[in-house]
């Protein structure tokens, strides 16, 4: 299968100024689904801030600003994506055939779900409860449908068309299968608004089913990623940020278990409601412990890479430092709510600081990269299959992820 090489990811503005790096190429010539990672990373700031288990000054105002920015990014990225498909349909159709980029088709679904959840948690103070509920219902429905499609279609394409090599597994493989977990966590917000007991029970169990779907697939992927790291090493610096994606299904599953478990006693008959409620803590504590282990490993690998001679090149893979950490915040906040433990509140606070620092850093560098045009440059021509086979670096270094990806 062909692989792609990426242009330089330096974000220094060239002498030519605005979009100079494009050198006359169309600005919408290469807009992949990975751009929706910026929406995810911004929306999770609002959601995480709103769910922190302790008060903060100006929380409502700051969460509102973050949510409005996420909405604006969703509109802009969606418009750019539509423009790309309209003006460059052949390139756009090729994204699903790209063995790296195809996995990031999970990002649009999670962007819709995150902004939708923010509408009910944060946006209702700005636009009212009824409009916020309607917006969340639409975005949740669209994001869930899209996420279920990607969780089937992308693995199917991987199994039948992409021909991945032994050391191809990377964090991006999780992207198409995680959206149902986000649907489960965010769907809990809609359950209380359903009109009948049967509808609420159906919605609750559907969310648990989607959580199980994503959880089992994620465990398979995480095992493959761990095995690739053990047998083939860390690989390219450009791929290192995607290790943080592993935190996403872990933190989101803890969040989903909490949100659904809190509702279960009032929705499901005994003893199932109480069993689901107990599961929130029994499952959450253990998985959160593994998530902290992975956070420590990913941090050490990232610091090691950044301190190396070539450093950690900037690309939109850096958005992997945001949304997954945000799910850790919401997971820790849920556990703190259930237990009341001060230690979990402290962990949630520290993770939120990490999230804000990462988000601000990546947002600024993304704006600079877009202004200069570096993040809009299309990848260079694909190498031939023979050239790829002759180069172990091209296997170990998924160069497509040095382009704008999650």
Please report whether residue 52 resides in a domain: yes
Please report whether residue 6 resides in a domain: no
Quote the pLDDT of residue 11. 43
CATH number at residue 189: 1.50.10.150
Domain region containing 251 = 28-377
Please report whether residue 9 resides in a domain: no
Backbone angles phi, psi at 282, to 5 degrees: -60, -45
Quote the pLDDT of residue 8. 42
Closest-CA residue to 256 (of 173, 330, 329): 330
Quote the pLDDT of residue 6. 41
Please report whether residue 50 resides in a domain: yes
Structure tokens belonging to residue 41: 């990373």
Please report whether residue 390 resides in a domain: no
Please report whether residue 298 resides in a domain: yes
Quote the pLDDT of residue 166. 82
The pLDDT mean for the chain works out to 90
Quote the pLDDT of residue 16. 56
Quote the pLDDT of residue 392. 32
Please report whether residue 156 resides in a domain: yes
Domain count, the chain: 1
Is 309 strand, coil or helix?
Answer: coil
Extract the residue ranges of the chain whose pLDDT is less than 50. 1-15, 381-406
Please report whether residue 299 resides in a domain: yes
Quote the pLDDT of residue 10. 43
Tens digits of residue pLDDT in 340-357: 999 999 999 999 999 999
């Amino acid at each position: 299968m062909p692989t792609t090489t990426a242009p330089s990811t330096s974000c220094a503005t060239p002498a030519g100024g605005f979009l100079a790096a494009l050198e006359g190429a169309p600005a919408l010539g290469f807009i992949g689904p990975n751009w929706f990672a910026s929406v995810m990373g911004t929306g999770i700031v609002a959601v995480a801030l709103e769910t922190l288990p302790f008060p903060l000054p100006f929380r409502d105002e700051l969460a509102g600003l973050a949510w409005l920015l996420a909405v604006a990014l969703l509109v802009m990225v969606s418009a750019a994506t539509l423009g790309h498909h309209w003006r460059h349909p052949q390139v756009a159709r090729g994204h699903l055939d790209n063995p790296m980029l195809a996995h990031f088709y999970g990002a649009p679904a999670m962007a819709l779900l995150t902004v939708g959840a923010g509408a009910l948690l944060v946006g209702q103070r700005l636009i009212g409860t009824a409009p916020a509920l309607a917006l969340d219902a639409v975005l949740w429905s669209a994001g869930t449908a899209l996420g279920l499609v990607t969780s089937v279609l992308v693995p199917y394409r991987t199994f039948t068309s992409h021909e991945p090599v032994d050391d191809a597994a990377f964090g991006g493989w999780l992207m198409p299968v995680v959206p149902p977990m986000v649907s489960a966590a965010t769907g809990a917000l809609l359950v209380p608004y359903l009109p009948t007991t049967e509808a609420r029970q159906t919605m609750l169990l559907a969310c648990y089913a989607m959580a199980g779907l994503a959880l089992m697939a994620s465990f398979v992927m995480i095992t493959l990623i761990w095995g690739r790291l053990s047998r083939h090493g860390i690989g390219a610096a450009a791929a290192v940020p995607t290790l943080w994606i592993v935190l996403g299904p872990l933190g989101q599953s803890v969040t989903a278990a909490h949100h659904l478990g809190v509702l279960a006693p009032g929705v499901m008959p005994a003893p199932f409601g109480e069993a689901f409620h107990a599961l929130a803590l029994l499952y959450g504590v253990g998985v959160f412990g593994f998530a902290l282990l992975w956070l420590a490993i990913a941090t050490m690998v990232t610091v090691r890479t950044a301190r190396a001679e070539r450093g950690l090149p900037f690309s939109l893979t850096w958005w992997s430092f945001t949304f997954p950490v945000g799910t850790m915040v919401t997971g820790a906040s849920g556990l703190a709510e259930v237990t009341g433990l001060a230690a979990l509140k402290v962990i949630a606070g520290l993770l939120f600081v990490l999230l804000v620092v990462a988000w601000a850093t990546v947002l600024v560098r993304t704006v600079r990269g877009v202004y200069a045009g570096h993040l809009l440059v299309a990848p260079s021509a694909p190498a031939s299959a023979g050239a790829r086979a002759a180069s172990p670096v091209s296997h170990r270094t998924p160069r497509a992820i040095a382009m704008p990806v999650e």
